[in-house]
Amino acid sequence: MSAVESFINYKAKTGMQCGNYSIELPKLKPGEQYRFHFDATKCIGCHCCEVACNEQNNNPFDVKWRRVGEVEGGVFPNVSQIFFSMSCNHCIDPWCLKGCPTQSYIKLDNGIVIHDDEACIGCQYCTWNCPYDVPVFNKERHIVTKCHMCFERIENNQTPACVQACPEGAIEIEVVNKEEWLKSKIDEEGNAPGLIDARVTNSTTRFTLPENMPKTLEPADKDLIKPAHKELPLVFMTVLTQVSFIGFLALLLGDIASKITSLPGPNFSMAFAVFALSAIGLPLSALHLGRPAKALSAMKNLKSSWLSKEALFLGVFTALMGVVTLFYYFEVEGFLRVVLEIVTAITGAYGIYAQSMIYKIPAKPTWNRKSTTYRFFSTGYIGTLLLAAIETFIGNFAVVNILLSISILLGSIQIYLFFESQRFYDTVKEENPFYYQISKAKKLLENDFLKLYNFRKVSLPIGAVFLPLTAVIALNAGSSSFAFLLIALAVLLSFGSELVGRLLFYSSAVKTGMPGNFFAGNQR
């Protein structure tokens, strides 16, 4: 007798319930969709659902569409341990769908959210966007994949693999009226300890929870801290494009000022420098993709994806900067050049804004702050430092003080934002719904990345303010060579500081997701 037959006979003898091979679901009425029901009073944390899901979908061990988590609470000896099994919640307002730049997510008429593998470019934006940590990057296929509720089995009146495998019958498929669910029941039955508020994405999964649960339930992995992915291509791309934008903005202001004052106007060297930064930085984002050859399709979802908007507007911004640079090379001056520069600056401003909005998502609390946008724009202080170095080297000292003043102003804002962020970590309270994510981020900075964090803390004020201010004093004292040396050093140190700061930005961002999920697999 096989092990499977023995297990079936054991269930029959003991009365243990298991998901049936066939399923009888009523025909969907208008306004209804399929959903999961998970009964936490039945789950024993055996992970059979995880195994069955992987076997059904031929996924490698590090790709888990369904995962089991664990929360615990109470005071000994009256303690509680509760398991949760969760895959895709097939939300009414799925963030994976509206954020995907290639429209690779489709919500079927029956409510099931499926993923179009062919259209996916492996950008993994959806793995950030989903507050339940559902989409998973498949390294072998170079794309993101996710639970589709075994919709092909449901169409044949068969149970999904996870439902069928559960020895306790803790997972079921049922029909929900979306309007009734959103009106009130989602708050009562859609939330579970350790999960983000169901109304963020209007999750449809219904939870049955044990009665008399402890008031405080903590994730079993609350002390397990794992750094996030470094995202090195994005570290360089974001910093370079932000520096390029502020540098170009200074170029525009300098061109306008030269028309109405006696100040010398910008030159080809300055234009080429700010153009080159973006021209080098923007293509680096393709290295982040699982399928770099399909990078241009990232502009497909301009209606709802900030990533699509960033790709389009920063792409146009870089192209327009190239044209402006040619104007400077061929010494084309006048009204036309200024108008082109204004259009380019507006395009770049929206591109950097869209870039910041990519990160303002509920799933990553340390990103989801107003300061993220301010930080992205003020990073560009290096652009004015770079232009000041060029002008000092050429000998156009008349505008160097102005450029350094702008740089010191933006650098001071960046310093304020850094210490404001540090205060944010230090003052987070346990009643904050994102306490565990924020406190873990703080521990990563103060333990795993302590040396880099200290470097950032020291290098930022020196590179952004002290060296430029000293250069102003040296320049006014007539020591232009020493001033150039100071500015060049400030550029190098500030670039290093901002790259380290952006690396910490990515690496210390702890996501929301399944609490107590020790076996997460290849989650981003």
Q: Is residue 13 assigned to a domain?
A: no
Same-domain pairing of 247 and 170: no
Number of structural domains in the chain: 2
Same-domain pairing of 159 and 267: no
Alpha carbons 167 and 126: distance in angstroms, whole number: 32
pLDDT tens, N- to C-terminus, the chain (524 residues): 433 343 334 334 333 344 446 778 888 999 999 999 999 999 999 999 999 999 999 999 889 999 999 999 988 878 889 999 999 999 999 999 999 999 999 999 999 999 999 999 999 999 999 999 999 999 999 999 999 999 999 988 899 999 999 999 999 999 999 999 999 899 999 999 999 999 999 999 999 999 989 888 999 988 889 899 999 999 999 999 999 999 999 999 999 999 999 999 999 999 999 999 999 999 999 999 999 999 999 999 999 999 999 999 999 999 999 999 999 999 999 999 999 999 999 999 999 999 999 999 999 999 999 999 999 999 999 999 999 999 999 998 989 999 999 999 999 999 999 999 999 999 999 999 999 999 999 999 999 999 999 999 999 999 999 999 999 999 999 999 999 999 999 999 999 999 999 999 999 999 999 998 876 655 55
Q: Is residue 19 assigned to a domain?
A: no
Cα–Cα distances in angstroms (integers) from residue 223 to residues 218, 444, 516, in the given order: 10, 11, 10
Q: Is residue 472 assigned to a domain?
A: yes
Q: Please state, as a whole number, how many other Cβ atoms lie within 10 Å of the Cβ of residue 432.
A: 13
Alpha carbons 44 and 82: distance in angstroms, whole number: 8
Same-domain pairing of 66 and 196: yes
The residue from 195, 219, 243 where one domain ends is: 219
Same-domain pairing of 435 and 367: yes
Alpha carbons 161 and 131: distance in angstroms, whole number: 24
Same-domain pairing of 145 and 205: yes
Beta bridge partners of 84: 69
Q: What are the two backbone dihedrals, phi and then psi, of residue 77, each rounded to the nearest 5 degrees? A: -95, 0
- Domain region containing 327: 232-507
Q: For the domain that residue 189 is a member of, what is the CATH number?
A: 3.30.70.20
Length of the chain: 524
DSSP type of residue 195: S
Q: Is residue 516 assigned to a domain?
A: no
Q: Please state, as a whole number, how many other Cβ atoms lie within 10 Å of the Cβ of residue 174.
A: 12
Q: Please state, as a whole number, how many other Cβ atoms lie within 10 Å of the Cβ of residue 332.
A: 12
Same-domain pairing of 237 and 176: no
Same-domain pairing of 392 and 468: yes
Name the pairing type of β-strands 67-75 and 105-107: unpaired
Q: Is residue 513 assigned to a domain?
A: no
Q: Is residue 418 assigned to a domain?
A: yes
Q: For the domain that residue 439 is a member of, what is the CATH number?
A: 1.20.1630.10
For residue 308 the two structure tokens come to 């699509």
